[in-house]
């Protein structure tokens, strides 16, 4: 066998076993069209793969109203995870925070309020006063906090977003898109699962005042566990929703609906469409060996190859058996090799259309072997080349 040729494995996914023989005929993909959604913009996408299942005007730059607060709490979550901030820390309520108009947590001027309570006041009660208090505590003032919001937006690939405040009250040059909000929501759920649970909380009491979460889907659909509502005259009625059914999570964003019921109904329509006609599968587990490769001139003769993270595929329902995976391993893998080095690829396709293409990486490092191993392998490699040329 020539060690310099790439090794390619073609595998088919089945129902009883991980891999079975291919069917002679492939199923026809017949997914119904996206339902009509009464909103300025919307998007529906799978959480694990990012595959967009439905969209319209998803890149239109729109006023986000209180959907802004998803970014506000994301920034605070990042500060908490870094250790620069703690849930038991207390923020002093400034006059600006206390006087902020719109929806309120009803914090009082000069009081010191726990960061955890302020976060719940933002997430559950949509308190503008709590948003400003958090921004001022984290960054000193709201303008600097907005700079932090924009830096995180750029890092997350939210290329059509710009933030000027922490609460989403109308202000010039403050905008985002349905697609960018889906990216942001994905990051919140993935990076902060422990904090994300607050988005499913239906009510919160502060200062002896109990307020209900404005996300009506939390009461209508038990699979919905977030995320955030918003409304201003400019933005209309908006809602980012996320639902988990079995192992499939979908994120839907509706912006510019006509009323509070409509934003809930349109998100429900999108979620039902996605769960009814699509399915998401974890095909391979990350950090797990998929292929053992020959290593030359190393302190080990073999190396396990795998994926950096779990590999999912989102496809129309009832077509799982028609998925095909092609695992390709690079030629002439020679030490030294660092953990995480790309040494091949895993390409998943459905009816000749690529569904996912991800790097196959080294799951550990391999150092150079001793002088005898290097010399021995050099001779073997020359012999293999010679034999291949005959």
Helices (H), the chain: 68-82, 95-99, 115-123, 128-139, 142-155, 178-191, 193-196, 217-220, 260-277, 371-389
- Is the pLDDT at 139 greater than 60? The verdict is yes
Q: 41-257 in CATH: which number?
A: 3.40.710.10
Is the pTM here over 0.75, yes or no? yes
Catalytic residues, which ones?
66, 69, 126
- Residue 386 — pLDDT band, cuts 50, 70, 90? low
Calpha distance 228→230 (Å, rounded): 7
- Is the pLDDT at 7 greater than 90? The verdict is no
Residue extents of the structural domains in the chain: 7-26+283-389, 41-257
How many residues comprise the chain?
390
Using N-to-C axis directions, what is the helix angle for 115-123 and 128-139, rounded to 10°? 140
Mean pLDDT across the stretch 137-159?
98
- Residue 14 — pLDDT band, cuts 50, 70, 90? very low
The predicted pLDDT at position 384 comes to: 72
Calpha distance 292→86 (Å, rounded): 44
Contact (Cβ atoms closer than 8 angstroms) between residue 220 and residue 238: no
Mean pLDDT for the chain overall: 92
- Domain at 7-26+283-389: CATH architecture: Sandwich (2.60)
Using N-to-C axis directions, what is the helix angle for 115-123 and 68-82, rounded to 10°? 160
Calpha distance 230→64 (Å, rounded): 7
- Is the pLDDT at 26 greater than 60? The verdict is no
The predicted pLDDT at position 1 comes to: 42
Region for residue 190 given its phi and psi (left: phi exceeds 0; alpha: psi -120 to 50; beta: otherwise)? alpha
């Amino acid at each position: 066998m020539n060690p310099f040729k790439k090794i390619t494995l073609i595998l088919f996914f089945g129902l009883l076993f991980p891999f079975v023989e291919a069917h002679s005929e492939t199923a026809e993909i017949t997914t119904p069209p996206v339902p009509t959604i009464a909103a300025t913009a919307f998007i529906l996408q799978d959480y694990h793969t990012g595959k967009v299942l439905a969209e319209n005007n998803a890149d239109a730059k729109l006023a986000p109203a209180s959907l802004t607060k998803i970014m506000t709490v994301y920034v605070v979550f990042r500060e908490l995870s870094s250790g620069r901030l703690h849930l038991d820390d207390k923020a002093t309520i400034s006059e600006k925070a206390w006087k902020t108009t719109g929806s309120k947590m009803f914090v009082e001027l000069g009081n010191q309020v726990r960061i955890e309570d302020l976060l719940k006041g933002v997430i559950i009660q949509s308190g503008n006063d709590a948003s400003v208090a958090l921004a001022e505590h984290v960054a000193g003032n709201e303008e600097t906090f907005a700079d932090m919001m924009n830096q995180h937006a750029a890092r997350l690939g939210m290329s059509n977003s710009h933030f000027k405040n922490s609460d989403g009250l109308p202000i010039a040059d403050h905008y985002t898109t349905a697609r960018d909000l889906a990216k942001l929501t994905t990051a919140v759920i993935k990076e902060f699962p422990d904090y994300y649970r607050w988005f499913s909380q239906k009510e919160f009491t502060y200062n002896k005042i109990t307020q209900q979460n404005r996300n009506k889907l939390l009461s209508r659909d038990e699979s919905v566990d977030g995320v955030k509502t918003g409304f201003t005259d400019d933005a209309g009625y908006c809602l980012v929703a996320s639902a988990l059914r079995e192992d499939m999570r979908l994120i839907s964003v509706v912006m510019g609906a006509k009323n509070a019921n409509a934003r809930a109904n349109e998100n429900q329509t999108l979620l039902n469409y996605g769960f009814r006609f699509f399915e998401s599968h974890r095909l391979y587990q990350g950090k797990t060996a998929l292929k053992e490769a020959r290593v030359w001139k190393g302190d080990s003769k073999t190396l396990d190859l795998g994926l950096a993270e779990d590999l999912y595929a989102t496809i129309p329902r009832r077509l799982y058996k028609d998925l095909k995976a092609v695992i390709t391993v690079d030629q002439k893998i020679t030490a030294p090799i660092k953990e995480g080095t790309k040494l091949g690829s895993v390409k998943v396709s459905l009816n000749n259309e690529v569904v996912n293409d991800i790097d196959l990486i080294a799951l550990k490092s391999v150092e150079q072997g001793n002088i005898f191993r290097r010399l021995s392998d050099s001779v073997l490699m020359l012999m293999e080349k010679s034999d291949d040329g005959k």
